[in-house]
Structure 1
Amino acid sequence: MAHLYDDEKKIGYVASDEVNAPQHDGMSIDTISALVAEDHGHEIQLRTMSWQKAAWLLAGDQVCLAIMAQTWSLSVLGWVPGIITMVLAGILFWITSMTMWRFIMKYPQIKDICDFGYYAFGRSRLAYEFTGFMLLANNIMLIGFHVLTGAKVLNTLTDHSLCTVTFSVIVSIMGVIMSLPRTLKHVSFMSMFSASAMGLAILLFLVFSGIEAHPGLGYSGEWTASDPVRTYAFPLAGTDFVAAMGAVLNISFLWVPQILFPTFISEMEKPQDFPKALAVLAGISGFLFIVPPAIGFHYLGQYSTAPAFGSLGTDVYKKASFGFVIVPTLVIGVIYANVSAKFIYFRIMGNSRHAHSNTVIGWGVWAAVMAVIWVIAFIFAEVIPSMGDFLSLLGAAFDSFFGYIFFAVAYYFLYQGKFFAGIGRSIMTVIHIFVMIVGLFLLGPGLYAAVKAIMVDYSGSTRPAFTCKNLSI
């Protein structure tokens, strides 16, 4: 963790409420300017993103395949609990993201979620190391999920022309190559194409699901005239806690990208402009996370699958819509790989000249770290029988911290002694108490439900490791 301490020493940093510097909502503009000036003195400059590029990067991360799993969540929860959960998750996303930003502006030397945990928990080295473990476990498992998703896309498009493990190798190699750019500014350029491709995939799905006479199949079996498509306000009879909690975790997982935000903010030239990028993301997410899933549930009803492409009854429709998912699958994997690699890379390189210069050693270490990340992700993708189950486990174990608990704690340190200073602050204090309760609920009952779901799935047949089995949707 030397780079964090070195940064504090180098700029002579103290918390911004302790200095007489120009302030903007609790932040020291002088401190931010010093960090940017230091970065721009390096050969490889990281703090170069405008808020517009940051908005594209955010959209590239959030406009993802998980949107197409929300139709299934609605089919489990029904209209009323489902839409309420989606809207509530969106509101909490905005509030917690703004709390994160304000905390980072107080400690602008924060470079990643691990630094955030270090300061939020009283400059605790243990919190830093534990957060680092969660960061790597979460991100590498997610990259593995995208490797597996890429293999599914290629299986579907080619009618399983090659062994599935071969497709996974192809996706992993492409991921390593695309991950070589060191700055998120360059990755944000890829994100434009990623978000556009996913948007097109969603649009095609909605068109195809609307023009089809009926869906093809759902988890309960093929469509039959005796069981026509229907929607419902509340969960169907027989829906147990584990199923309902799985649907809730599926929604909350989509609305918890904050694990990446500190790294994104640290590479903005003007991090004080982050709320502009966040507002763009909130608008896009609010629409895409609710409207397409709702339309999908209307057409698919109880036959909804995750992702919803699998419910389409015509193979051509599946291929035409699902095929575009290969772009966001790769790009989102690259984003998570970049954030993970930077955490490892700067632990290895520290503040040496290789860390910020175009040297053979610098680029060699970067490429090696990236290759190791993708290889481990590939292994996870191949040996874990059900990545979906493990993502639910990650959502309960880690998103409870990265989406809720961390920011309730950060709020406490930001406004300690001023929790009820006015009506607005009092309302926000109550909301953050609720945020902590939500986080603890996901960590407790949510984790229990995720483990139970894994036990149920593993009691039946599971996908063998390094399989050639056809994984087409």
Structure 2
Amino acid sequence: MSKEKEGYALDTQADESDSFDTITALVAEDHGHDIKLRTMSWHKTACLLAGEQVCLAIMAQSWSLSVLGWVPGIITMVLCCILFWFTSITMHKYIMKYPQIKDICDFGYYIFGRSKAAYVFSGFMLLANNIMLIGFHILTGAKVLNTLSDHSMCTAVFSVIVSIMGIIMSMPRTLHHVSFMSMFSCNCLYGNAILLFLVFAGIEKSPLYGYKGSYPADGPVKTYAFPLPGTTWVACMNAVLNITFLWVPQILFPTFIAEMEKPQDFPKALAVLTAISAILFIVPPAIGFRYLGQYSTAPAFGSLGVVSYKKASFGFVIVPTLIIGVIYANVTAKFIYTWVLGKSRHTHSHTVIGWGVWVAIMVGIYLLAYIFSEVIPSMGDFLSLLSATFDSFFGFIYFAIAYWQLNRGSLFSGLGRSVNTVFNVFIFIVGLFVLGPGLYAAVEAIIADYSGSTTPAFTCANMAI
């Protein structure tokens, strides 16, 4: 029986050679097509990773700190950073064992012993997660346009405009083209939106309002080491899920790796992303919490006291909002596209049928996403629901299982391997905790939203921050 069938790690030179031979063959086959997918260098992959992960959710982290306080909040952020690195490296090692993996669905298929049920389950989760996230970005785009225009148009119409822009930008079929957009996206969010927010938060006299009333209804701005008295477990759990959501983008990583010319270089791109994330996901939220304190909202732009400050910083969010939606749409469309056309020539050639199916799929994706963007009551709680439901699997559980598959038969062979094994057991437990108590907290928060005043579906109401 071959080692591939046994599920053991590729520890021998012969196995590594087989893996690289497979990669070489896959790249050669791809480069013989009209539409070439496996073309990205690790530099472009790093840009794509940053463009996908440097997102508006960064601006919700000050609110998480306002719920958890400095100590639990920073510990959660640092722990998520460590878990992100280790799970991503495990994922890459496993894909190097099976270079033919094209997406997270293939990944699930292999780690569960070539299970078709696991493939179908992973496919459903991929579609649900990505389409809902595209919906989140459609709603965010509508909020930006509402804010900039002082609600000059019906919010549902703004959502239609954002959806159409997303469809047009999603027409390129390769991530190589999208990687160029990602560089622009990062610059707009960090180089403009976040920096302007930090400057404005520092120079203004006071915040505008928080979830407990306008300033100074909740007293002077203050920060604190631990949650304030009266903070509920559900609120704390949702704050943790908010942080987790930001740090768990691995559902897209197998697709990114599959479009690299040298997928073995992915750890270089991952190292760049981890360094960027460690700074952006902790420093700006900490500064925001320092100046906004208990008045922090999600996103933090809403707490700014001067309307012109709010518009100047929040306006730049429209670019990453559109481009991140494009990245998720591209990965989602590729999965459906391959399922519909299989290995026919239309999959990788410039044919009328091929492009017609691609356009139809993209329109369908954005139509479903538009509906989700209009019917959900609260995007903040919705992100917690996404984190609990999907990130529990695609951020923790899947990769703990992949580690077991890679090292089955030698889980405790030496001190280093033993420590790694125990750590991956911890990762698996974290995934179960996010899925169980985390999902309960997210559902409880959404129930509370529905019991209060919620924005009706397909509304014209002003949704400016």
Q: Which range, TM-score by smaller chain?
A: over 0.9
In structure 1, what is the Cα distance between the partners aligned to 2:198 and 2:385? 30
Whether 2:283 is the aligned partner of 1:310: answer no
Whether 2:245 is the aligned partner of 1:253: answer yes
Give 1:243's aligned residue.
Answer: 235
Give 1:343's aligned residue.
Answer: 335
Alignment of 1:53-452 (within 5 A): 53-199=44-190, 200-224=192-216, 227-452=219-444
1:397: Cα distance to partner? 1.1
Can you list the C-alpha shifts for 1:247-281, whole angstroms capped at 9, x where unaligned? 00000000000000000000000000000000000
Q: Is the 8 A contact 2:61 2:243 kept in 1?
A: yes
In structure 1, what is the Cα distance between the partners aligned to 2:9 and 2:240? 39
Can you list the C-alpha shifts for 1:219-250, whole angstroms capped at 9, x where unaligned? 01111187110000000000111000000000
1:457: Cα distance to partner? 1.1
Give 1:8's aligned residue.
Answer: none
Letter in 2 for 1:471: M
In structure 2, what is the Cα distance between the partners aligned to 1:45 and 1:122? 30
In structure 1, what is the Cα distance between the partners aligned to 2:219 and 2:286? 20
Letter in 2 for 1:66: A
Q: Is the 8 A contact 1:65 1:307 kept in 2?
A: yes
Matched residue SS, 1:28: helix
Can you list the C-alpha shifts for 1:53-81, whole angstroms capped at 9, x where unaligned? 00000000011000000000000000000
Q: Which moved more, 1:81-90 or 1:32-41?
A: 32-41
In structure 1, what is the Cα distance between the partners aligned to 2:204 and 2:385? 35
Letter in 1 for 2:239: A
Q: Is the 8 A contact 1:22 1:30 kept in 2?
A: no
**TM-score (norm: length of structure 1):** 0.95
Tell me: CA distance 1:356–1:81, structure 2 relative to 1, closer, same or farther (3 Å).
same
1:205: Cα distance to partner? 0.2
Give 1:9's aligned residue.
Answer: none
In structure 1, what is the Cα distance between the partners aligned to 2:181 and 2:10? 40
Q: Which moved more, 1:15-24 or 1:246-255?
A: 15-24
Letter in 1 for 2:273: L
Letter in 1 for 2:120: E
| Structure 2 unmatched runs, 5+ | none
1:391: Cα distance to partner? 2.1
In structure 2, what is the Cα distance between the partners aligned to 1:85 and 1:472? 30
In structure 2, what is the Cα distance between the partners aligned to 1:17 and 1:412? 9
1:13: Cα distance to partner? 11
Give 2:461's aligned residue.
Answer: 469
1:421: Cα distance to partner? 1.7
In structure 2, what is the Cα distance between the partners aligned to 1:172 and 1:61? 18
In structure 2, what is the Cα distance between the partners aligned to 1:226 and 1:218? 8
In structure 2, what is the Cα distance between the partners aligned to 1:148 and 1:410? 35
Whether 2:38 is the aligned partner of 1:47: answer yes
Q: Which moved more, 1:15-24 or 1:26-35?
A: 15-24
Matched residue SS, 1:181: coil
Tell me: CA distance 1:412–1:162, structure 2 relative to 1, closer, same or farther (3 Å).
same
Q: Is the 8 A contact 1:16 1:28 kept in 2?
A: no
Letter in 1 for 2:433: F
CA RMSD of aligned residues (A): 1.7
Letter in 2 for 1:308: A
In structure 1, what is the Cα distance between the partners aligned to 2:456 and 2:50? 35
Letter in 2 for 1:189: F
Q: Is the 8 A contact 1:58 1:281 kept in 2?
A: yes
1:414: Cα distance to partner? 0.2
Q: Which moved more, 1:215-224 or 1:415-424?
A: 415-424
Letter in 1 for 2:329: A
**TM-score (norm: length of structure 2):** 0.97
Q: Is the 8 A contact 2:58 2:246 kept in 1?
A: yes
Q: Is the 8 A contact 2:212 2:218 kept in 1?
A: no
Letter in 1 for 2:337: Y
Give 2:28's aligned residue.
Answer: 37
Q: Is the 8 A contact 2:132 2:369 kept in 1?
A: yes
Q: Which moved more, 1:390-399 or 1:195-204?
A: 390-399
In structure 1, what is the Cα distance between the partners aligned to 2:41 and 2:15? 21
Q: Which moved more, 1:390-399 or 1:188-197?
A: 390-399
Tell me: CA distance 1:183–1:22, structure 2 relative to 1, closer, same or farther (3 Å).
farther
Matched residue SS, 2:220: coil
1:390: Cα distance to partner? 2.2
The count of corresponding residues between Structure 1 and Structure 2 is 461
In structure 2, what is the Cα distance between the partners aligned to 1:390 and 1:271? 34
In structure 2, what is the Cα distance between the partners aligned to 1:17 and 1:202? 43
| Structure 1 unmatched runs, 5+ | 1-11
1:307: Cα distance to partner? 0.2
Can you list the C-alpha shifts for 1:19-38, whole angstroms capped at 9, x where unaligned? 987555x9711111011111
In structure 1, what is the Cα distance between the partners aligned to 2:167 and 2:438? 34
